[in-house]
Amino acid sequence: MIKRNPKNTMWEMPKPLLRDAILHFFGEFHEYQWLDICATKKNRKFLAYFSKKINALKQKLTKEFFYYCNPPFNDLATWVEFCHDQHLKRNCTVLMIVPCYTDSSWWTEHIGNQFQYVSDFKFLDDRLGFLINNKPVVNEKGKRQVYYMPCVWILWRSKN
């Protein structure tokens, strides 16, 4: 299992899993409509992305794109608050993957104990196996590592 506070907190989402989530929520997948707001050139999932240098947290999201966020898991509160606030203030659509920290303040304030602050959500069926540099994270025995707790897709959908 991937430990709670790993040195590398920029885990990459396997693209097929992201594609499946987008198809689940939207029924179709068009890569050009999406912008990865928390990425590097190596781990971005779409052609359009915000790098650390651009700093998504200082940007104003618009309805021009749908936004995908796989935040650093050591700074979840900042990213969840940012995505929720951008949705409320700018009426944009944000899809985010987060671990199920249901007892944290960021969860109760921005997702809700009954998911009342989100448009939709979907729990992952299995524990999430992240990537680093587009390769599965494996232990010293070569076994694929998974995140130690369940994760959930959170969607804040723009209102027409």
pLDDT, position 147 = 83
Reported as a single tens digit per residue, the pLDDT across 18-35 is 999 999 999 999 999 999
Domain count, the chain: 1
pLDDT, position 78 = 97
Please give the residue range of the domain that contains residue 81: 15-156
3 located within any domain: no
pLDDT of 107 higher than 90: yes
Report in angstroms the alpha-carbon separations of 159 from 13, 63, 93: 27, 10, 9
pLDDT, position 9 = 58
Reported as a single tens digit per residue, the pLDDT across 40-95 is 998 999 999 999 999 999 999 999 999 999 999 899 999 999 999 999 999 999 99
118 located within any domain: yes
Cβ(68)–Cβ(83) below 8 Å? no
Q: Sorting pLDDT into bands at 50, 70 and 90, what band is 5?
A: very low
Reported as a single tens digit per residue, the pLDDT across 137-158 is 888 898 888 888 899 999 999 9
Nearest to 96 by CA among 109, 116, 111, 108: 111
CATH number at residue 106: 3.40.50
pLDDT, position 136 = 86
4 located within any domain: no
1 located within any domain: no
Coarse DSSP helix, strand, coil percentages of the chain, rounded to the nearest 5 percent = 25, 20, 55
pLDDT of 122 higher than 80: yes
CA distance 107 to 8: 23
Q: Sorting pLDDT into bands at 50, 70 and 90, what band is 1?
A: very low
Q: Does the predicted TM-score (pTM) go above 0.85?
A: yes
CA distance 151 to 13: 12
10 located within any domain: no
Across the chain, mean pLDDT equals 90
Cβ(79)–Cβ(69) below 8 Å? yes
* CB neighbour class for 125 (10 Å; exposed up to 12, middle 13-18, buried from 19): exposed
Q: Sorting pLDDT into bands at 50, 70 and 90, what band is 4?
A: very low
